[in-house]
Chains A and B, each alone.
Chain A
């Protein structure tokens, strides 16, 4: 059974720092992996989708990497801003379903 874990559950850093969020999964037979952002009380915003054949994807200040053999993905956020404060969720496509981590709540202090 595929399980997805995100560590840490919460993270608070000063504005301007570069930071890394971690996601691990137990079964390397994944289709794709996707990172989402969720603001409090809001819906889900897709950030990056990494296909199983890819190693990384970039969008602006965000870079996501995928290492299937070790069952890990990281989301790198450069030059963090207060507007980056949100919960970041990692999800793995497996057997036509998305399996989700519990998320990392990120707070960027001005």
Chain B
């Protein structure tokens, strides 16, 4: 498995508080992604990065921001958490170099906003 870690793995927070999730990779992959997974929706893209300091919005970006200051780290921030952001968050990386390349996924972060 690719070396992708997410921290924290579990978090409970209160509405209105800021939350930052971290994704760290050791594969030197160019692309990094943040997804959320909710029952009945599969995975939905929040934001992605195509290089250091290069990011773009995904399908469900409202209420989220991201930063990538180093190749290996991709941070997801909820500026003011809401109950609708209770979800499981997955980070992924992709080298994007060859047609046989797959995205690799972290173990997920379960976030509960009370």
Chain A positions near chain B (C-beta within 8 angstroms) = 4, 6, 31-32, 34, 43-44, 46, 49, 51-53, 89, 91, 96-103
Q: Which of B44, B45, B90 has a CB less than 8 Å from the CB of A44?
A: B90
Chain B positions near chain A (C-beta within 8 angstroms) = 31, 33, 35, 40-45, 48, 50, 58, 90, 92, 94, 96, 99-100, 102-103, 105-108
Assess the B48–A96 pair: CB atoms within 8 A. yes
**What is the interface of chain A mostly: helix, strand, loop, or mixed?**
strand
Chain B: CB-nearest residue to A46: B102
| Given A96-B31, A96-B50, A97-B58, CB of A49 within 8 Å of CB of B42 | no
| Given A96-B50, A100-B42, CB of A49 within 8 Å of CB of B102 | yes
Separation of A91 and B107 alpha carbons in the complex (Å): 18
Separation of A76 and B43 alpha carbons in the complex (Å): 22
Q: Say how far A56's CB is from chain B's closest CB, in angstroms.
A: 15
| Given A43-B107, A43-B108, A89-B42, CB of A97 within 8 Å of CB of B48 | yes
* 20 further A-B pairs in the complex, CB-CB below 8 A; given A97-B48, A98-B33: A4-B42, A6-B42, A34-B103, A43-B106, A44-B90, A49-B100, A52-B99, A89-B43, A91-B43, A96-B31, A96-B96, A97-B45, A97-B58, A98-B43, A100-B42, A100-B44, A101-B42, A102-B40, A102-B41, A103-B42
Assess the B105–A44 pair: CB atoms within 8 A. yes
11 residue pairs A–B, Cβ–Cβ below 8 Å: A43-B106, A43-B107, A44-B90, A49-B100, A49-B102, A89-B43, A96-B94, A97-B58, A99-B45, A100-B35, A103-B42
